[in-house]
Structure 1
Amino acid sequence: MEDLPTHLVIDILSRLDDSADIARCRVASKTLNSLSREVRSINLRCSFDRYAKSRSPLTRSSITPFKTIFRNLISELGIIESVSIGVEKPLHTVAYDDVEDEDDLFLTDDKFAVEWLPKIGNGLISCSISDFWVQSCWRRSDVLSLLSSYCQNLIELQIKNAWLSVDGLNPMPMLSKLTLEYIRLDDEDLDMVNKCLSSLQVLNLIGVGGLKEPRIHMSGLKTCHWTVSNAVTSINIVAPRLVKLKLKCARPKALVIDTPSLTDLYLSLEEASKFKVHDFTSLKTLHLESFDLYRVICKLPFGPTIQNLKLSSTRTIGLMVATYGFKLLFSVFPNISSLTLNPRAWSELEMCEDLEVQNQMKGLKDITAYLEIHDFDTTLLFIFFILDNCPNLTDAKLFIHRDVVFTVTNTLISRCMTHCPRVRWRWGMWKVGTEDAWMPT
């Protein structure tokens, strides 16, 4: 280490998974002791083991409080550009017993934030706070407003496991990426976020509770990942520059999407009784996940621009009905060149008895599908139907469930490759909970 260039040593120290290790590096050499003070990032995590020792009567006195360690790091470093503090995932399972009066891991605590934000806020570019839910869920925090007061140069912000207030929230013109995960937030709070964080380009709202009729109205937003809770009754998204949207919801009574620049959409919902969606004039890639794919496909104005289509059905085998087939798909999506089907979506299409199409599906060039093979002849007939009606299909990637017996799998592979040698076949195996695996052919 003594012979490494100065900038490289600082970079190595900045990449430590636990900034508490910096203290250990200081006693290793004079060089490390000197250069460690030039590190511009803090990455500090409380492990389950550390938490358990801090609560045990036998070891409690020997454990330095987590917030004290963080304060010491702040005092020993100069300019700090990045802060990431939080608890490790195993702590998310800790019960609520006997923690109401504790606050050492209440990391979005206003008093704690006021102790360190004024000292480093002006230079801070990136900040991530992953709170301890059993200590933060019943305490409302103004940390978001404090960050907006002290961190005018902040570009990226992530807050997890907290109950946030937006009282006193100031505009943050530099902030371009915001992630709120497992947060309590009300509709009016989200309205204030729309107003004060208007420069956001990336917004991730994962499991944000408390919302009823949330609205996202952001003129500069380009990427959005939004996982909506079941309590939400309506969703409203107006974002003229939005390019990529991942939206997961259950049964919203109303869904409004006004995103004319959207090119990549992942939409997961069970059903929606009312849609108000402007035409997707730029959409190229679409992933639909639903209990009722037929209704969603027929209701939304997807248009002819989609080239890459992925369908994921969430129906169980016993509830499957033949409601749609390739004829419907290619009338709604006439220009798709790539198609991916999850096991349930394939089975639903396979059940459709109408295997007649008016025109050949000339645009389809590659298909990826996951097969369960409940009836060999039905599956084989459906594959032949696709091959015969898609003359430009050149690539087929078919994954067969691992529980299908080898003789059935081997026969299917042989029959398909013999029937259509023009296709570049790739065969694999799949099973829930395991990684897909390619099979030698």
Structure 2
Amino acid sequence: MDDLPPPLIVEVLSRLSDSTDLARCRLVSKTLNTLSYEVRSINLFCSFGRYVKSRSPTTKSPITPFKTIFNNLILSSRSVESISVGVEKPLRGLSYDDVEDESDDLYLTDVNFVKEWLPGVGCGGLRSLSISDFWVQSCWRRSEVLVLISSCCHSLLDLEVKNAWLSVDGLNPMPSLTSLTLEFIRLDDEDLNKVNECFPSLQVLNLIGVGGLKDPRIHQLQLKTCQWTMSNAPLSLTILAPNLVKLVLKCVKPQSLVLETPLLSDFHLSLEEAGKYEVKEFLNLTTLHLESTGLCSLIGTFPFGRTVKNLTVDSLNRSEPVKTKRFNLETLSDFFPNVSSLKLGPGAWSELESHFRSGCLEGKIGMKKMKEITGHLMVYDVEITKSFISSVLDKYTSLSDMALLIHREVDSSITSNLISSCSANCPRVRWRWGRWKEGMKDTWVSDGI
């Protein structure tokens, strides 16, 4: 290692995913010890195992406090550009009901803790900062860490704060910041307004599980990508972003939704019910993902679907087959006539199959450009499923690809029956088969399951 060029060693050390290894490297050789202070990235996360040991009467004495380890690493580093500090995922999943912990050893948005190290690195070349707090210790303490960051980090480009109750009183403008992620954060409407005002150059905004908002409003002129997941049911929700290209919006049941995003091309919308919506025309929308308990009424809010090429739909009614008529392929054809790729989630497939069971597919031919259909199947009645698939193939003569994922709990004999029947009855189509299950990643196989 000592024979490697120093810049290469620094590059390797800067890419360590766990900076506790950096501390170990300092004990290995004089060269590593010297060069370790030139690293550009510090990544330190408290593990669940360390947390448990720090609470056990038999093991807590020899455990070095997490904040002490971090301070030793960061205060001795001279060229840091990126900092990530936090607790690992198992700890982020704990709630105050699971464990009572009124200490502050993992309260990482504690402004007194951050003051110890941030001014020294923030005024330099710091470009990226991520703090993932321990919710059990942070949820009942309002932190001014965002204000401190805005006063110290004038060159910061990327900021991420998770699991905290934030104050914006005294927040300073950060015109250089282009990416902001707030995840599981407590904010009020006026706090979000302050964020709009002080971060005018945002191109990426992620608001995930941000609670406390009633009538939230995003007004960002430079924003290009936005992910917004609401943890409560707001009265109204407004997005004014003339340059927004991609939007992922998940909310419960807003009474009003206003979108002024004329350049939007990729839109993922998930909500329980469609209400009073004001949606300006999307002239560039090519990719659309819709998910709702009232899927048919939600589809009706998109009278501008002629530009959509890639469509994904799913109903949140997944627990059992739908017994009443909801939406059907005719509806999709009317609103999205130029779709070439259609993906049907398990709820949507179930609704379509239920509609087919109660009658038949409509005679009108729509979606003449349809090339590919992907479906997630439960297979309640294999004969009905086979008949439905056959009717779809008859309706869409331009279809060349069928990608079907079958639920993992479906009996293997039923699966084999479906695969062999479909492959034999329609050899003109390229078939792909796979498995799916809630909470698991879809898996594909090339020659059956």
Question: Counterparts of 1:410-429 in structure 2 under 5 Å?
Answer: 410-429=416-435
Provide the C-alpha distance between the structure 1 equivalents of 2:313 and 2:13, rounded to a whole number of angstroms.
45
Distance in 1 (CA, whole Å) between partners of 2:415 and 2:37 is 61
Looking at structure 2, the residues matched to 205 and 47 of structure 1 have their Cα atoms a distance apart, in angstroms, of 25
* Alignment correspondent of 1:236: 238
Correspondent of 1:390 among 382, 385, 396: 396
The answer as to 2:320 corresponding to 1:317 is: yes
Query: CA separation in 2, counterparts of 1:140 and 1:432?
Result: 36
1:348 aligns to 2:327 (yes or no) = no
Structure 2 CA distance for aligned equivalents of residues 249 and 311 of structure 1: 16
Task: Give, in whole Å, the separation in 2 of the partners of 1:318 and 1:390.
Answer: 24
The corresponding residue for 1:184 is 186
8 A contact 2:337–2:366 mirrored in 1: no
Matches of 2:183 and 2:264, distance apart in 1 = 24
Q: Does 2:388 correspond to 1:377?
A: no
Residue type at the aligned position of 1:350:
E
Uncovered stretches (5+) of structure 1, i.e. residues with no partner: none
Residues 415 and 64 of structure 1: CA distance in aligned 2, closer, same or farther (over 3 Å):
closer
- For 1:12-91, list aligned pairs within 5 A: 12-91=12-91
1:321 to partner: Cα distance: 2.0
Greater shift after overlay, 11-20 or 330-339? 11-20
Q: Percent identity?
A: 57
Distance in 1, Cα, partners of 2:385 & 2:202: 47
Q: 1-side partners of 2:407 and 2:66: how far apart? A: 48
TM-score (norm 2): 0.93
Tell me how far apart the structure 2 counterparts of residues 360 and 112 of structure 1 sit (CA, whole Å).
62
Alpha-carbon spacing, 1:361–1:299, altered in 2? closer, same or farther (3 Å) = closer
Q: 3-state SS of the aligned residue for 2:339?
A: coil
* Worse overlay, 86-95 or 20-29: 86-95
Kindly report which structure 2 residues correspond to 1:28-427, keeping only aligned pairs within 5 A, or say none: 28-92=28-92, 93=94, 95=96, 99-100=101-102, 102-122=103-123, 123-315=125-317, 316-317=319-320, 319-352=322-355, 353-427=359-433
Question: Compared with structure 1, are the counterparts of its residues 345 and 234 closer, same or farther at alpha carbon in structure 2 (3 Å cutoff)?
Answer: same
2:415 and 2:104 map into 1 onto residues whose CA distance is 58
Kept in 2: contact 1:310–1:340 (CA 8 A):
yes
- How far the C-alpha of 1:374 sits from its partner, in A, is 1.9
The whole-number CA distance in structure 2 between the counterparts of 1:290 and 1:119 is 48
Deviation by residue 1:219-272 (Cα, 9 ceiling, x = unmatched): 110001110122322111111111110011111111111111010011000113
Rounded to whole Å, the distance in 2 between the matches of 1:66 and 1:36 is 19
User: CA-atom RMSD, angstroms?
Assistant: 1.8
Mean Cα deviation higher: 199-208 or 361-370: 361-370
Report SS of the residue matched to 2:74: helix
Number of residue pairs matched?
A: 440
Contact 1:255 1:272 (C-alpha < 8 Å) held by counterparts: no
Return the letter of the residue paired with 1:56.
Answer: S
- Give the stretch that moved more between structures: 399-408 or 295-304: 399-408
TM-fit CA distance, 1:419: 3.0
Q: 1:74 Cα shift?
A: 2.5
Shift of 1:376: 2.8
Cα distance between partner residues in 1 of 2:42 and 2:409: 48
- State the alpha-carbon separation in 2 of the partners of residues 361 and 47 from structure 1: 51
Q: Distance in 1 between the 2:366 and 2:62 partners? A: 75
63-72 vs 430-439, which moves further:
430-439
Q: Residue 49 of structure 1: CA displacement?
A: 2.4
User: 1:2 and 1:427, CA in 2 relative to 1: closer, same or farther beyond 3 A?
Assistant: same
State the Cα distance separating 1:354 from its structure 2 match: 4.1
Task: Check 1:121–1:306 CA distance in 2 against 1; reply closer, same or farther (3 A cut).
Answer: same
Cα displacement (A) at 1:20: 2.7
Cα displacement string for residues 387-421 of structure 1 (whole angstroms, at most 9, x for unaligned residues)? 11212111111122334344433333333233322
Contact 1:278–1:301 (Cα < 8 Å) also in 2: no
C-alpha displacement of 1:371: 1.7
Going from structure 1 to structure 2, the CA distance change for 1:431 and 1:64 (only over 3 Å counts) comes to closer
| Inter-partner Cα distance in structure 2 for 1:204 and 1:117 | 23
* Shift, 1:174, TM fit: 1.1
1:46-75 CA-to-partner distances (Å, cap 9, x unmatched) read: 122222333334333322222222222222
1:12-54, Cα deviation, whole Å (9 max, x unpaired) = 2112232233222122111111111111221111122222333
Post-superposition offset of 1:82: 1.0
For structure 1, which segment, 389-398 or 195-204, has the greater mean C-alpha deviation from structure 2 after superposition?
389-398
CA deviation after TM superposition for structure 1 residue 98, in Å: 5.3
Alpha-carbon deviations, 1:136-167, whole Å to 9, x = none? Answer: 11111111111111101000011011100111
Describe the superposition over 1:161-183 as per-residue Cα deviations: whole angstroms up to 9, x where unpaired.
11001111111111111110110
- Cα distance in 1 between the residues matched to 2:147 and 2:424: 66
Cα deviations by residue, 1:97-152 (Å, 9 ceiling, x for unpaired): 5532x222111111122222211112210000011112111111111111111101
> What secondary structure does 1:61 align onto?
coil
CA shift in 2, pair 1:48/1:432, >3 Å: closer
TM-score, length-scaled by structure 1: 0.95
SS at match of 2:148: helix
Alpha-carbon offset, residue 439 of structure 1: 5.3
User: In the alignment, what sits opposite 1:5?
Assistant: 5
State how far apart, in whole Å, the 1-side matches of 2:95 and 2:238 are.
35
The one-letter code matched in structure 2 to 1:5 is P
